[in-house]
Amino acid sequence: MSGRISEPDRQGFCDYFVQFGGESTTQVRDRLGLTIRAIIESVADGSKSLLVSHGPSILQFCRRVLNPVPDIHGLKNCCILHFTYDQGQFELISVYNPVEVEYIYGGEE
């Protein structure tokens, strides 16, 4: 590794934390995808689950499990994301920002 310190970019922190012994963005995405999938698959069908995390981690999870990844502008800490999960696939229904009292993606009927 060179003496240059890498900087975070617009797609996440890339490998910024690797130089300090942390995870790469790919490792974070993989870990979140596996962990959240395991949690969701462990609950009874039809049950609802609440998972809490930081905005950047949630965005990395979306980048792992959604294809294509929706253009979500304004994702902040405290945003509430509503997903469905069926036969191993996540679908993002909506993103609600309670601080601004608005949906920034989708919306609830």
Per-residue model confidence as pLDDT tens digits over 81-96: 999 999 999 999 999 9
Do residues 14 and 26 lie in contact, with contact meaning Cβ atoms separated by under 8 Å?
no
Task: Give Cα 16 distance to the centre of its chain.
Answer: 18
- Spans of the chain, pLDDT less than 50: 1-10
User: In whole angstroms, what is the distance from residue 105 CA to residue 87 CA?
Assistant: 23
How much is the pLDDT for 55?
85
Look at residue 90 in the predicted model and tell me its pLDDT: 95
Q: How many residues does the chain have?
A: 109
pLDDT for 107 equals 83
* Residue 30 pLDDT: 94
* Buried/exposed 23-57: b ≥16 CB within 10 Å, e otherwise: eebeebbeebbeebbeeeeeeeeeeeeeeeeeeeb
Confidence at residue 73, expressed as pLDDT on a 0 to 100 scale: 80
The per-residue pLDDT for 1 is 38
- pLDDT > 70: percent of the chain: 86
